[in-house]
Amino acid sequence: MTDIVSAEKTSAKDRGILLRLWDLMGARPELFTLLLTVITCFVVIAANPDFLQMSNLVDILRASVVRGLFAMGVLVVLASGGIDVSFTAIAAFVMYALTMLVTNLFPEMPMALILVLAALGGACFGALNGFLVQKLQAPSLIVTIGTQYVIRSFLLTFVGTALFMNIPAAMDAFGKASLFTHRASNGVVSVLPATVLVLVVAAFVTWFILERTLMGRAIFAVGGNPSIAERLGINLFRVRIFVFAYAGLLAGIAGVVHVSSNRLANPFDLAGMELEIIAAVVLGGARITGGSGSVIGTLLGVLLITLVSNVLIFVGIPSTLQLAIIGAFILLAGTIFALRDRT
């Protein structure tokens, strides 16, 4: 009898721990993404311990920079209840046009000014998205698909697939700048690029906007229920212009960072990244319907997507299964988040 009572107490205690973990995951959905990331790392390390080499870790950080910049913008749009799929097209246009302009007319332009111009150019495209969404009262997905196709069509018509390899000196130097260099015993040199700092700044600014400003509160309020938000005196037009302009601003910066890192401008280099960026933000805990999301969760989602995209070779999984694995993660996360909301 004593053993039965003890077993029941142990079982009840275990259930209590699981319920507390479930409640914690409900309050902080990014913990689920962290769990998936840790499990993925353990699986890869178990299959191939070479994954822990500094060069691989640096490669993952490097590959996360542009994804992370895009994701910060998408997070803000999703939190407001919108969706943007035009950010890669905006980045492509800004990076190609600005690279050509600076190279041909202002070859000595400093990198800081190039980043400012990229941000302004991207913000203008984003603000146009926000204006169209508000004035047409059309779903943001439809509007941004339209602007994406217009921009891509323009690039295809007037630029084609021509690569621009003669980038400005400032962009070339920025792409080569490093925070630290590590030389392994086997002679492999790992370089952490200075472009990581751009993502750090963007993540901090995004966090500050969402968590410490009235605009951040308005964004979540509009995403939660726009009708109630409007009755509370929140200007929907201003919020929508801001979130899409901010996403465009970060897209423009991401485009320049991409060119600087790759030392060339390809007008169609970023095409096809839209869904994986949105997936990263959703995996980070943002609802596709709006009203939620966090910078930490989004960064974890970006890290998870980058891991899946870059380490399949270490476990012998064909790269063709990359999308299937990401899709499985999204389905699992969606199921967990849906069950969380019901409880």
Burial of 54 (0-12, 13-18, 19+ CB in 10 A): middle
Report the percentage of the chain scoring pLDDT > 90: 55
- Of 198, 223, 206, residue with least CA distance to 294: 206
Distance CA 216, CA 4 (A): 53
Nearest partner of 310 among 58, 70, 32, judged by Cα: 58
Nearest-angstrom CA–CA distance, 61 and 295: 16
d(CA 44, CA 64): 18
pLDDT above 60 (res 5): no
- Per-residue buried b or exposed e for 181-194, using 16+ beta carbons within 10 Å of the residue's own CB: eeeeeeeeebbbbb
CA 336 to CA 317: how far, in whole Å?
26
Burial of 336 (0-12, 13-18, 19+ CB in 10 A): middle
Domain ranges of the chain: 54-270
Q: Does residue 147 surpass a pLDDT of 60?
A: yes
Tokens of 109: 């332009």
Q: What is the pLDDT of residues 105-145, one digit of tens each?
A: 999 999 999 999 999 999 999 999 999 999 999 999 999 99
* Farthest-apart Cα atoms in the chain, separation: 88
Highest mean pLDDT among 1-10, 47-56, 156-165, 253-262: 253-262
pLDDT at residue 9 is higher than 70: no
